[in-house]
A and B are shown apart, each in its own frame.
Chain A
Amino acid sequence: MMSPIYALLIRLHPEKFRRRFGAEMMAAFEQAAMDGWGVRLLVDGVLSLARQWLKEIDGSSRADQTFGPAGPGYLEILRRRSIEVASRVWRFNAAWATVLILLYAIGNNWPLALNSTRAVIFVLVSLLLILKTSPGLMQGPTETMLALSLKENPRLAQLKIERQQLENSSYFLLLLASMAGVQHVIQLLGGQVNIDTTARVIRLVIVSSAFLAAIPIQVRLQKMHRAAIEVLQTEIDAIRSAQSKDLA
Chain B
Amino acid sequence: MVPDPYSYLPLAPAALHILLALAEEDRHGYGIMQEVARASHDQYRIGPGTLYENLQKLVAGSLIAEVRRRDNVDPRRRYYRLTSLGKRVALSEIDRLEEIFRKAKGHLRPAHVRKP
Contacts and interface: CB of A to CB of B under 8 A. Distances in A.
Interface of A: 17, 20-21, 23-29, 31-32, 37, 40-41, 43-45, 47-49, 51-52
Range, interface on chain B = 10 to 19
Contact of A44 (B47, B56, B76): B47
B33 interface: yes
Contacts of A45: 47-49
Contacts of A49: 49
Contacts of A37: 45, 47
B5 interface: no
Given A32-B30, A48-B53, A51-B53, A26 B76 contact: yes
B51 interface: yes
Contacts of B33: 28, 32
Residue in A23, A25, A47 with the greatest tally of chain B CB atoms within 10 Å: A25
7 contacts: A23-B76, A28-B33, A28-B52, A32-B33, A44-B46, A48-B47, A48-B52
Nearest to A46: B49
B88 interface: no
Contacts of A27: 29-30, 74, 76-77
B77 to A, nearest CB: 6
Determine the main DSSP class of A at the interface with B.
Answer: helix
A49 B77 CA distance: 21
A187 B29 CA distance: 43
Nearest to A40: B47
A215 B70 CA distance: 59
B87 interface: no
A20 B59 CA distance: 12
